[in-house]
Amino acid sequence: MKPPPPIEELLPHRYGMLLVDRVVAWDPASATVSARPGTEGWYAEAGGMPSRIGIELMAQAIAAHVSIVAWSKGEPPKKGVLLGARAYRATRPYFAFGSELIVKATRAFSDDSGMGAYDCTIENAAKARILVFEPPDFEAFIAAQKQ
């Protein structure tokens, strides 16, 4: 497989919200990304990046996986939403500034309606199952939520 494009081309996150740096590895069922918490991040606290931000790191690994799979087929990425996390467990309260976090998202299941789940880990630091939804018509889905 050829290397994926830069993370900025895969994820729409901007203005400090792009928390992952690059794709480390990927295949049709999973993606591994890296992140390096910085002292200037909006999330910064005295101890580092709070481990609760790990859920967002996992969500961005999932988004990278969805985008890479679409990219590999010559298709635009599907938009989706994070529905929730099951059993998020972190082994520490903070991720140290400057440390490299390796985040892996592996698709556990998905169905034709767009529902899915990923088993995610932050190497030696956290794990969770993340529930996601990729509606067939994202704009219609968002409009319906505003009513």
The structure tokens listed for 124 are 């030696």
Among 115, 120, 145, which residue's Cα sits nearest to residue 133? Answer: 115
pLDDT of residue 141: 82
User: What domains appear along the chain, each with residue ranges and CATH number?
Assistant: 7-146 (3.10.129.10)
Predicted confidence at residue 16, as pLDDT, reads: 84
pLDDT digits (tens, 9 = 90+) for 23-49: 999 999 999 999 999 999 999 999 999
Model confidence at 1, pLDDT cuts 50, 70, 90, reads low
pLDDT at 78: 81
Q: Does the pLDDT at position 95 exceed 70?
A: yes
- Mean of pLDDT over the chain: 92
Best CA proximity match to 11, nearest among 83, 84, 68, 55: 68
Q: What percent of the chain has pLDDT over 70?
A: 99
pLDDT, tens digit (0-9, with 9 covering 90-100), for 101-124: 999 999 999 998 889 999 999 999
Cβ-based neighbours of 116, under 8 Å, separated by 6 or more: 107, 108, 109, 110, 131, 132, 133, 134
Length of the chain, in residues: 147
pLDDT (average), residues 54-64 = 97
Query: What phi, psi does 26 have (nearest 5°)?
Result: -160, 160
